[in-house]
Structure 1
């Protein structure tokens, strides 16, 4: 197949060096994986991107580029850039040289979708809820207006269930990771770990409470804003010798963080669509203890690769930590190898694309 792909312009693909941009990592795994399977893949993305697929960038860097950090109109620039890329990718798609267009963002490109024929698919990374991706009336209006034009691919069945009213899901393809980046650690370390942005909803403050109640240290990995009210009131007062605030670690180096953890704590209180850190941890043999929200039961085999605890039950998480040694770390790795490899993900996308092209 000849496949045209449009990336998000907010960040370079696969990911900038100073933060983890999961959609970019997934997007690039799909692009490069399809190329390796013999397809012709052309990617429209920012000029600071790096990919083995053919890259078209127009010399415009992502809004993440450091030279733009002080730009007061950062979001205006982002949408202008995304609209420019969308218009150019539609222009290219109209040449008729491609079998399918795959987009990685859903707020801009759909407005151009009716100017061209041929299948258009989109990976949906978000949370289809009114406090997230459907917060404005225009969000709902847009999704209804282009419902039949864009074929969405869900990351989990839970995401599909929650969002089917506004997103025309045609398939579920679980995200996958490059297992060469993550090695099995048969024993792990003594500390617990939390990986992700230090914000409310992801709740690193609860992870700290669980670690302290369990009598274990906690390694926090992720970006944070020391000036935010959440950090000042919920995180900073709890930092002591047992809590290690590591900041951001590049995604290519996160393997060692997971390998050295006794378990990963994932105390989310929103409907996380996937949770890439969950499968990355299990790929290293590290079991995951998560609150029962979003897609956690699709990713974690309760009692086998970790524990899924009732939302908000801090003591339940503490109890899970106490029995974490009952989890076979090799089984965690095998679970990811079977269900969440990059190869399986790419094969899933290839299957969906072929079905749509042949219709």
Structure 2
């Protein structure tokens, strides 16, 4: 790197980018901001109120627009959360269009909102957007709003790049990285670990069913993102060797995952990447999961096992095999394939290419 870059990172307007993280997107954005700053770049993070001020934060103006009674009564009026996010990104992109080129060399959009893509042609500086999810109609529409979309796209996995190929044929794969200095090796133990948002698409109840079938205790950590789901599907399984240990900060989560014999990863949808897989491997903890989405890109036979999707019995049958895998092989896989240094170097090279 010859000259430090001035980088604008656009994050979620819904959840703060701070510990304990609401999900993998917030954890990724926090990690990327820290890594780029450590490389000597000047990073400004545009994120939801309450985000970590140590990141060079500029809070997105997330507030409700002042709407007239007539507008609120219109049948097309969306819910308040949608309207607040729309207003926040609209204001941010208007400001960027006005004088963003005087303050930044590149904009990196890590939000899931359509406006940073739709309004990119109004900016006089390059825009990178990372595709973190399967295709959405709003974002596909934004990409197609210009005959030639000026945005440079990256995808968090080959699986995600393939899912977007009809709309974005040339997305570059830059896999999310984990800080292997923070996610340190643990000694393992006698229990299984599951971490993530407690929502149906992450399938923590399937992990609990598999652990019960395998006869191995399970500790579940993460924010309750869907209270009704948690109460109906997860809560009844607790107290039978299945424990919910709460929404943990990063250091406590490292101790939990590093102290586990194996990590269960049970998506009920096609996971675009699977940050919890990379985190577990960095802790030297082998992974037993469902073969969905990008999990088979991260795991190798030396560090994990994959069962058919939505099959807790099949997962349970692989648990005892998984816990016998070499923890050093898991750690090596994280260092070589999904480290923070690898991710930061790839993004820096892209920024420099575009800024030149």
Tell me, yes or no, whether TM beats 0.5.
yes
Deviations 1:44-78 (Å, cap 9, x if unpaired)?
334533355544337x5799xxxxxxxx8333223
- 1: CA distance between counterparts of 2:315 and 2:205? 13
In structure 2, relative to structure 1, the CA distance for the partners of 1:6 and 1:232 (3 Å cut) is closer
1:162-241 equivalent positions in 2, closer than 5 A: 162-167=163-168, 169-186=170-187, 188-224=188-224, 227-228=227-228, 230-241=229-240
For structure 2, the residue ranges without an aligned partner over 5 or more in a row are 65-78
Q: Within 1, Cα distance between the matches of 2:7 and 2:232?
A: 48
Mapped contact 1:10–1:62 kept (Cα < 8 A): no
Deviation at residue 5 of structure 1 after TM alignment: 2.7
Structure 1: where are the runs of 5+ without partners?
64-71
2:308 corresponds to: 310
The answer to whether the 8 Å contact 1:176/1:343 transfers is yes
**1:6 counterpart (4, 10, 29):** 10
d(CA) in 2 for partners of 1:46, 1:313: 37
Seen in structure 2, the aligned counterparts of structure 1 residues 243 and 54 have a Cα distance that, compared at 3 Å, is closer
Match of 1:117 among 118, 124, 136: 124
Corresponding residue of 1:324: 322
Contact 2:118–2:145, Cα closer than 8 Å, also in 1: no
Shift of 1:156: 0.7
Q: Measured at CA, do residues 158 and 232 of structure 1 come closer, stay the same or move farther in structure 2, by a change above 3 Å?
A: same
The match for 2:265 is 266
Secondary structure of 1:246 counterpart: strand
Q: How does 1:1-40 map to 2 (within 5 A)?
A: 1-13=5-17, 15-17=18-20, 19-40=21-42
CA deviations 1:286-319 (Å, max 9, x no partner) are 1111111100011111x21110122233332122
Q: Give me the whole-angstrom Cα distance separating, in 2, the residues matched to 1:310 and 1:57.
A: 42
Contact persistence 1:148–1:168 (CA under 8 A)? no
- Residue 323 of structure 1 aligns to a residue whose secondary structure is helix
| Aligned alpha-carbon RMSD (Å) | 2.4
Contact residue 300 and residue 306 of structure 1 kept, 8 A: yes
Say how many residue pairs are matched: 336
- Using the size of structure 2 for normalisation, the TM-score is 0.85
Give SS of 1:208's match: helix
Cα offsets for 1:164-192 (capped at 9, x unmatched): 22335431111111222222123x11111
